[in-house]
Structures are given as C-alpha cells and as structure tokens.
Amino acid sequence: MNTLGWLSASISSLVLAACSSAPAARPAPASAPTPSVAAESGYTLVLIRTGPKSGQLSAEENQRAFAGHFENMGRLARAGQLVLAGPYGEERHAPDLRGIFVLDTSERAQAEAWASTDPTTQAGVFRLEFHDLATAAALRRALAEDLAWHDRQVADGRTPAPGENGRGYVLLTAENGDLAWRELAPLCSTDGGVLFLAHIDGSRALALLDAENAAEARERFAPQLEQLGACTLDDWFGSAQFARLPEFSGS
C-alpha cells in the first residue's frame, strides 16, 4: 500500500485523536417523519474520491496537505460538524472511493462550505461528492462516546495508537430504498446485524452491517441480499462505537 493509502486508512482514528473535548451540541435539523422511520435527522453524506492531482504532489506537498487534512478533521469534529469519518477497505465497488464523511447539516451549501476547508481537497488529492442522508441512528452519541474513550486514555497518560478503537464493517448501498427498508429494518439491532439504516437522496438506502468484510456480509445476509435488487457491498473501517448504535438509538 502506498503512503497515500496508509494515510487514508488512518482517517477514522485521527479524527478522534485530534479532538480533546466532546463536540459542541447541535440541534437536530428538522425533518418530517417517513412511513418507515420516525424522528430522522438530516445530514450530508460526502463520498471522498481520488482527485485529479493524486500522486502528482511532491513528498513535501503531500505531507503538508495531509497534515492539514487531519488537523481540519479534528477542528470540524470539535465543532460538532463532522460526526462520522472512515476509509474504505480493500473491497469497494469503485476504485476511486477513498472514504466518507457525514456532516451534521442537511443544508448543501453549509456542507460544501465545511468540506471545502479540507486541504487535501484544495490540493486536488481528493474530490468530494455530496448526497442527502437521513437517519434516526444516534451518530452524535457515537462520536461523543468515542471522544470520551479517547479522553480517558489521555487522562491515564497514554496516547491511543491509530486505529486502536476502530474495526471493520461493511457499507451496503441499495438502489431501491423501499426494498432495503423492508428487508433490513427488522434486523436493525446489535443481534440482527444492521447497525444503522439511512435514506440517501430520498430514494436509495445506506446500511452499516456488522461484518468484518464483504465476504462475511454476503454469507450472513444472504437471504436479504437475494431480495434487495441492485446493491453494493464495501469494506469500511470506523469507530468501534458504531457497533453500539442500536443501543444508543434505543436509549
């Protein structure tokens, strides 16, 4: 794996390591309940893709861009603007996919303004693709728990290693959101294996599956996958606290 790949694989943990306090509380954006899920909050999903200048910067320029990238993510998290971040793993449905952000706003202009502060995007190493996302999952609570975990480590006199509080998951994206809700909503629990379910752009669905990789997900969720129609499975790395999202959402 090249240097850029190693840096990308550290996104999730470095967001948290850069934050020394819980994010500022933000009111949940108003959103109308849907027939399938009530009390959803509106967010913006950002797909981080390989940019036109990837691999073209000098070693010094690349190092400077990524140092700013991680610092900026920490700033966004401290401000309560970035609630989720993590890199794609080995298996992904498009080779240029690098990672995702979830920003705590449903206003596209605001999301673009926050995301545009990323130095790697400004340098052309990454390009960003924006989508509407709505979910009832307790993403803010998961971030707060992760920051609290980090603070406890620091209070004990140790600095967590990159990725120490992370693990592998699988992201499922379904083109038919109604089918995805029918098949996956009954499994939205820690035991059921669907850790959160979200609408993307109103018609599609995104699910976080409790599986270490896509091969495991295909085996565990084979009956549901047969019914979903067009969908993709992507390896993804994120905070271990996301495994507790069903618990957080029910509390």
- Cα–Cα distance measured from residue 186 to residue 188, given in angstroms and rounded to the nearest whole number: 6
What sign does the dihedral 45-32-29-184 (CA atoms) show? negative
- Cα–Cα distance measured from residue 19 to residue 8, given in angstroms and rounded to the nearest whole number: 18
- Confidence at residue 146, expressed as pLDDT on a 0 to 100 scale: 87
Element holding 171 (H helix, E strand): strand 166-174
- Confidence at residue 147, expressed as pLDDT on a 0 to 100 scale: 84
CATH code of the domain made up of 3-22+39-135:
3.30.70.1060
- Cα–Cα distance measured from residue 157 to residue 19, given in angstroms and rounded to the nearest whole number: 16
- Cα–Cα distance measured from residue 88 to residue 109, given in angstroms and rounded to the nearest whole number: 25
Token pair 């069903």 in the structure block, residue: 246
Delimit the domains of the chain by residue range. 3-22+39-135, 164-250
Domain pair 3-22+39-135 / 164-250, same fold: yes
What is the mean pLDDT of each successive set of 10 residues along the chain, which is 251 residues long?
Answer: 36 40 42 50 97 93 90 88 94 96 97 96 96 96 90 91 89 97 94 96 97 97 96 96 90 62
- Confidence at residue 29, expressed as pLDDT on a 0 to 100 scale: 39
CATH code of the domain made up of 164-250:
3.30.70.120
- The pair of three-digit structure tokens given for residue 23, joined into one six-digit string: 């994010």
The closest alpha carbon to 141, from 62, 13, 11, 23, belongs to: 23
- Cα–Cα distance measured from residue 172 to residue 217, given in angstroms and rounded to the nearest whole number: 9
- Confidence at residue 74, expressed as pLDDT on a 0 to 100 scale: 81
- Confidence at residue 251, expressed as pLDDT on a 0 to 100 scale: 62
The closest alpha carbon to 209, from 177, 242, 231, belongs to: 242
- Confidence at residue 234, expressed as pLDDT on a 0 to 100 scale: 98
- Cα–Cα distance measured from residue 3 to residue 95, given in angstroms and rounded to the nearest whole number: 17
- Cα–Cα distance measured from residue 34 to residue 211, given in angstroms and rounded to the nearest whole number: 28
Number of H helices, E strands in the chain: 10, 8
- Give the list of residues 6+ apart from residue 2 with CB closer than 8 angstroms, or none: none
The burial class, CB within 10 Å (0-12 / 13-18 / 19+), for 167 is middle
- Cα–Cα distance measured from residue 188 to residue 197, given in angstroms and rounded to the nearest whole number: 7
